[in-house]
Structure 1
Amino acid sequence: MSSVALDSHGFPQGSGIFETIKTVNGAPIALGRHMRRALESALELGISIPSEDFIREEMIRVLGENPHDVGRMRICFGKVIFHITHDSYVELTEPARLNFYTQTVIGEVHKRFPYDFRFGLIDAANDEGYHDSVLFNEKNEITETAVSNLIFLIGGEWVTSPISSGILPGVIRAIAVENCGVKVRPIHVSEIPEVESGFMVSSLRIAQPISHIGDMKLKIGDASRVLEEQIRANCKPVSVG
């Protein structure tokens, strides 16, 4: 794998798709799901990706050369790009505080780089004392945050926005829907006052409870603990080869 020039966020200079995968003692979580998503995006976008055997060999090499107890493996594919990194990842221990981003954001079905716009949303939220922002579409439907899917407890039911609302089809979101009883339906911004509890779900954070949306405090109680345990139980790391 040849060396490539990187941007300020560690992505290859140029454009393409990427997958970010959490690892535990060198074993990635939901690797098969990530690679299926990457393949689907590559086929749709006309990006050729290396063979499965070659990718697996490179993963094993990079993981072996850069061992971490808990890590972040990033795999980038472009028309002339193939790049894998493995860095240490620090587990998040505090609940998330979210605000609302004040403008409509068009959702992205494919996980693309450069990722500057999304990082900019994070920086703007941080400047206001929040970890991330709740985004919405032109129909005023809740979509996601800059870097995570959202799951809310509304009326005693855990719900997440549909892909048709304009969200990334997240790997952990899919696990929550398929294995943990989370329902899929549009969520209008007018429903935010009815949100009892919530999670940011992504490949690194897995399931991070939300403590606040703006000034509104959410509950982190038994229902949240049960769902978090279910999601994490379905996110066991597996060997690369």
Structure 2
Amino acid sequence: MGRDPTQGPNLNRYCGRNAVKIWVDHSLTDETEQYLGADGWPLGSGIFETVRTEDSRPQLLSRHMRRVLLSARHLGISLPDEDHILDAIEHVISAEPHPVGRLRLSFSSDHFVATHEAYLSKASHLVVEIYRTSGSTSERQHKVFPYTHHLDLLAKATEHGVDEFICVDELGRVTEGAVSNVALRIAGQWITPPITSGILPGVIRALAIERCDFLVREISENDLMSCEGAIAMSSLKIALPIASIDTRPIEIDSDSEQMCLKLRELARTL
């Protein structure tokens, strides 16, 4: 499988590490236990963005900031000013440098927390399974923490022996993965579900629509069994081809590979 272990629950990520620096409100600190749980997630509740970094450069940061600003306005959360956030990012990346990193910016009514950790992924493709859901998914319009539901869903996928789920709602509509947006190639056209299907408006998904001519329309469960190609998208993995859905092999052809490469290049250069 193409398992990416850094996406799932990571127990005691900060426990036992010496002088790990995080940014809290106005300065760096190594007193992580006051602000982060053992899993590395901030205490309390709020909104967050996860940003891939390469060679200390955050990818698509302006897009992430636009999304978190919209969520903050909708949910009534006050954000620090942009210069303050950029200063925090610069300091935390300098304090915790990694060739490829995961920058997490968390905003709540109590604190602004920024962390930067190594991101290691050797996955070249994903093996996925269909997972049927019920109930409202309207909260997915905002990237909120606690993130327990999504991490639990990803852990369940691991228990099932797959890398990720593709969720299908009670109306038979494809929505998204536990931590990914999805796109299918149907009759030669890449298609991704609309926001109205109850999905997070992902940064890479938006890039695929704007720069790679992905169409937006509802996708049915039947489409999963007949699609010619499939990819999963997120801000960390950018884009990875899906090699099978519910044990049905999907060819990773040149079109799928080139589309993933194009999205990765766009993420690096925009």
The answer, yes or no, to whether TM exceeds 0.5 is yes
Q: 1:40 aligns with which of 46, 60, 70?
A: 70
Coordinate RMSD, CA, aligned: 1.3
Q: Structure 1 CA distance, aligned partners of 2:249 and 2:106?
A: 37
Find out whether 1:143 has 2:175 as its counterpart. Answer: yes
Stretches of structure 2 that go unaligned for 5 or more consecutive residues are 1-23, 26-30
Match of 1:98 in 2: 128
CA contact (8 A) 1:33 1:171 kept: yes
Q: 1:194 aligns with which of 187, 209, 226?
A: 226
Match of 1:120 in 2: 152
Runs of 4+ in 1 over 3 A off after TM superposition: none
Stretches of structure 1 that go unaligned for 5 or more consecutive residues are none
Quick one: percent identity of the two aligned structures?
38
Match of 2:161 in 1: 129
Q: How many equivalent residue pairs?
A: 238
Task: Determine helix, strand or coil for the equivalent of 1:10.
Answer: coil
Matches for 1:20-169 after TM superposition, within 5 Å? 20-104=50-134, 106-107=136-137, 108-169=140-201
TM-score, reference length from structure 1: 0.95
The structure with higher relative contact order (CA 8 Å, sep 6+) is: 1
Aligned AA (2:37): D
Find out whether 1:173 has 2:205 as its counterpart. Answer: yes
Find out whether 1:225 has 2:257 as its counterpart. Answer: yes
Q: Structure 2 CA distance, aligned partners of 1:46 and 1:99?
A: 36
Q: Structure 2 CA distance, aligned partners of 1:208 and 1:226?
A: 11
Aligned AA (2:142): H
Task: Determine helix, strand or coil for the equivalent of 1:101.
Answer: strand
Aligned AA (2:81): S
Task: Determine helix, strand or coil for the equivalent of 1:226.
Answer: helix
Aligned AA (1:219): E
CA contact (8 A) 1:21 1:29 kept: yes
**Which string of whole-angstrom CA distances, capped at 9 and with x for unpartnered residues, describes residues 1-29 of structure 1?**
35543223311111000000000010011
Match of 2:244 in 1: 212
Change (3 A) 1:209 1:174: same
Q: Structure 1 CA distance, aligned partners of 2:252 and 2:96?
A: 36
Find out whether 1:9 has 2:39 as its counterpart. Answer: yes
For structure 1, which segment, 146-155 or 89-98, has the greater mean C-alpha deviation from structure 2 after superposition? 89-98
TM-score, reference length from structure 2: 0.85
Q: Structure 2 CA distance, aligned partners of 1:192 and 1:88?
A: 34
Task: Determine helix, strand or coil for the equivalent of 1:18.
Answer: strand
